[in-house]
A and B are shown apart, each in its own frame.
Chain A
């Protein structure tokens, strides 16, 4: 058994025998791998006795479940009204250029994923960029890019 399947098995075992746990299991799996690896989903299907189709039906209903690997650092540019007024379009353009990614793409080295989001709810900070769940005001996109690149792995090393 591969490590992905083994880890998935461990995650599911926390929930076995309980009803209505599918979404929790999927969230934990995504928390572990950053997305839902097919191999892990197969384990979930086997262990919970839910068909693969049904699991993907549930998972694809929610936009926050992902089916392909994502970058270690996830950069979300808010495109809500307040941010838009304060120039989020230009921020996005700069970030796309600086990271070499279009919105929705992940860099081949799996370092960055760039996406847009419609509102993160802290409009007072606009224009907002959320880096790995941490919102920040971006007045100078170049500086953000430089920080991102310097920290390489999302400020983790």
Chain B
């Protein structure tokens, strides 16, 4: 091959692609060249001078992490001259390294220590001068001891790559130090606490606070699993000592995890976890034996079903549980309780949109992955997706750094808008219209004829575009034209980055249409979701309309009836929305891993409806608001305890590993036990058995191998945002920062510290705050047509005037939103309390 370069390293002949560095070339031959500042996954800087090598016929020593290979090069990596030079460098580093290896956390995994050992430095030749910097422990996650820092700059580069970009070298010469602007504490400097800097630090300068005193790395067992917080389900390694998680790491040091993945594991071992069943006696929830509560639960469900019929009972499952738990759950409701009323909270967070997009894209093979985002040439980033699926932002940043063009659509001035070429900032509720106007402009550029041939329902699409063109959206025609020019370039790899749970269905459909319009049918739409297993819950059949594997129809029902040895109810049964409606027939409800009282829109009405139930069972990790109302509370084991699988936003099936001893029974064990009491039937209490059944029922976990895309434009609808009087405000739910995440996991996960105002804040633009005479921290009443709540004002210059933002997912926000359309802005009034 023409592109291979042959050279000799330490006497070995090696062929590597042109452009490879000597350091990498040596690696392929199994020759390890020591290095400190170079870090896989980050740009080299050639600063540390440890990786020096000798090239024959080249004067002096060269830096192997930067020098590229050349044909016929003869390289030596370990001569005495090289070792002497390296020794000198390490000795200079040691002269400013006042740490004591004997008691250092990093002992045994510190690179400086390792090289000092390898180079045989027994005592420092230079006097050691303690820099005397104060150790920064001001944040809950990372200890920064720059007395141990060797100025390799890895943390600075990783911070830049992951997109926070808050670190740099400050000052100069002997005073050089890594710091934030004006030495501000990390929180104030805008740190996200992704912890990547800790991951790449070669010494103990940056350390996880929680691992201190827990042992050295050789005592830890790293177990590979996946994060359970959001839809991307990032790969991670739980490092365990005995049965305790002491730190979380990644495959490669510079891989991204967000604060929840890296530091938020505390929920697994939190003392607040439920470990025994609770039953309500004399109005109080008190601990009870499994046998007793399951007996009671089975009896009550049987009674209610006999009294009210199968429609009188039902179940709702959350999108954070595993496929196996979801499968067992829907089977229990359908086959054991013989009720079709099984559904998921996903109903309120983008189920319909997910289904529509999946239909057009032909299944997960057609979705865009995180790597598609990183590899894109043009990105259309919609709304707060980068806060819902944090791994997205690093990918956007990498693409932008590579020269990709970024178009942002959304209200909030955040990181993506900073790297964007075009920022479309509409009035709240006009997002879909902006996309329609963009589509109209793109259509003018690409021409109608080919689009008409390629995509069905073109005429209806075109008609809708025509009606959207003149509607005022707050976005100027110039911006639209600029964005259209970028998106219309069909040769550029384009990806739309969307959170299906964070936009209105209209916006989601308009986004999909934009992909179809430019022939971007495959891997061009990223369907982000805040919840880990949104894809799996749906594919496992834990929604009212479909059986496992997204299957429907009488023949499928008959097949499942045979598989489960039961007569099955009518499908679809009631949806979660219908089950919780005022006049629903449901009298007994089983809620698994979901907290409707806080997380469903219109949750105050949900609470009122749950009060009218005759029997409520809630199974969860914590005593949530909903569990607090239950007649029976069952503890839930975490996926990190029981294993199981989920399907992430890219449509990948991910296998959770059992890393911790279970605090309680696995969900399917409980369900199996319960089923045997209801119907004297088993078959789902054992994970292996259950898995093979799932694979029969829904081959490939319902992730179809190669579905056929059915390109057809989706109707967007012509909803126009109502224009209020001047100075009126619109309430928008926004996942504007991690602190906005208010789920019980985050609450108990040790990352509470980032939630400055909990779920209690309402963000206002400085102009609006001033006009209303409100200051940071003022207590206010927030009133919409749907409810009233109290909140604390947070002045946020990232917001435009006319918008009041409240944290998505928070209970208070949910009481104020339109139950049927939780992502739709709603008129709001804010008054001082």
Contacts and interface: CB of A to CB of B under 8 A. Distances in A.
A54 B168 contact: yes
A124 interface: no
A157 B340 CA distance: 89
Interface string B178-221: 01111000000100000000000000000000000000000000
Contact of A57 (B159, B168, B189, B418): B168
A51 B170 contact: no
Contacts of B165: 51, 53-54
A61 B170 CA distance: 7
B181 A49 contact: no
A53 B180 contact: yes
Contacts of A41: 181
A60 interface: yes
Nearest to A36: B182
A12 B168 CA distance: 22
Contact of A52 (B156, B160, B171, B181): B181
B766 to A, nearest CB: 10
Contacts of B181: 41, 52-53, 55-56
A133 B502 CA distance: 59
Interface in A56-79: 56-57, 60-62, 67
Interface residues of B, number: 17
A42 to B, nearest CB: 9
B126 interface: no
B189 A53 contact: yes
Interface residues of A, number: 14
Interface in B160-181: 160, 165-172, 179-181
B22 to A, nearest CB: 29
Contacts of B170: 56-57, 60
Contacts of A53: 156, 159, 165-168, 179-181, 189
A40 to B, nearest CB: 13
Nearest to A42: B181
Q: Report which residue of B160, B168, B169, B418 has the largest number of chain A beta carbons within 10 angstroms of its beta carbon.
A: B168
B115 to A, nearest CB: 27
B180 A49 contact: no
B180 A60 contact: no
Give the interface centre of A49, A51, A62 by most chain B CB atoms within 10 Å: A51
A38 B166 CA distance: 15
Contacts of B179: 53
Contacts of B418: 49
A4 to B, nearest CB: 15
Contacts of B171: 60-61
A145 to B, nearest CB: 32
Contacts of B159: 53
A46 to B, nearest CB: 8
Interface string A70-107: 00000000000000000000000000000000000000
A38 B172 CA distance: 20
A87 B166 CA distance: 46
A33 to B, nearest CB: 16
- Of B171, B179, B181, B418, most A-chain CB atoms within 10 Å: B181
A38 B156 CA distance: 21
Contacts of A67: 182
A52 B165 CA distance: 8
A54 B189 CA distance: 12
Given A49-B418, A53-B166, A61 B172 contact: yes
A38 B179 CA distance: 16
Interface in B555-590: none
- Residue among A53, A57, A60, A67 having the largest count of chain B Cβ atoms under 10 Å: A53
A128 to B, nearest CB: 26
Contact of A56 (B160, B168, B172): B168
A129 B119 CA distance: 52
A67 B159 CA distance: 24
Contacts of A57: 168-170
A60 B418 CA distance: 25
B169 A38 contact: no
A41 B168 CA distance: 15
Contacts of B156: 53
Contacts of A52: 166, 181, 189
A67 B181 CA distance: 11
A16 to B, nearest CB: 15
Contacts of A56: 168, 170, 181-182
A67 B182 CA distance: 8
A52 B166 CA distance: 7
B175 to A, nearest CB: 9
Nearest to B167: A53
Interface in B118-134: none
B161 to A, nearest CB: 13
Nearest to B168: A57
A38 to B, nearest CB: 7
A53 B177 CA distance: 12
A110 to B, nearest CB: 20
A44 to B, nearest CB: 11
Nearest to A45: B181
A55 B182 CA distance: 10
A54 B165 CA distance: 8
A2 to B, nearest CB: 11
A139 to B, nearest CB: 36
Contacts of A38: 182
Nearest to A55: B181
B394 to A, nearest CB: 15
Interface in B410-428: 418
Interface string B668-693: 00000000000000000000000000
Contacts of B168: 51, 53-54, 56-57
A140 to B, nearest CB: 37
B96 to A, nearest CB: 18
A57 B170 CA distance: 5
Nearest to A61: B172
A57 B166 CA distance: 10
Contacts of A61: 171-172
A60 B180 CA distance: 11
Contacts of B189: 52-53
B654 to A, nearest CB: 34
A52 B181 CA distance: 6
Nearest to B172: A61
A122 B116 CA distance: 49
Which residue of A38, A55, A57 has the most chain B CB atoms within 10 A of its CB atom? A57
A72 B52 CA distance: 51
A56 B167 CA distance: 10
A41 B184 CA distance: 14
Interface in B722-754: none
A27 B669 CA distance: 70
A60 B165 CA distance: 17
B166 to A, nearest CB: 5
A52 B418 CA distance: 13
A23 to B, nearest CB: 14
B117 to A, nearest CB: 33
Contacts of A55: 181
A52 B170 CA distance: 12
A4 B179 CA distance: 25
B182 A51 contact: no
A145 B189 CA distance: 42
A97 to B, nearest CB: 30
17 contacts: A41-B181, A51-B165, A51-B166, A51-B168, A52-B166, A52-B189, A53-B166, A53-B179, A54-B165, A56-B170, A56-B181, A57-B168, A57-B170, A60-B170, A60-B171, A61-B171, A67-B182
Closest CB pairs A-B (n = 10): A57-B168, A52-B181, A53-B168, A51-B165, A56-B181, A60-B170, A61-B172, A60-B171, A53-B181, A53-B166
Given A53-B179, A56-B170, A62-B172, 11 more contacts: A38-B182, A52-B181, A53-B165, A53-B167, A53-B168, A53-B180, A53-B181, A56-B168, A60-B170, A60-B172, A61-B171
Interface of B: 156, 159-160, 165-172, 179-182, 189, 418
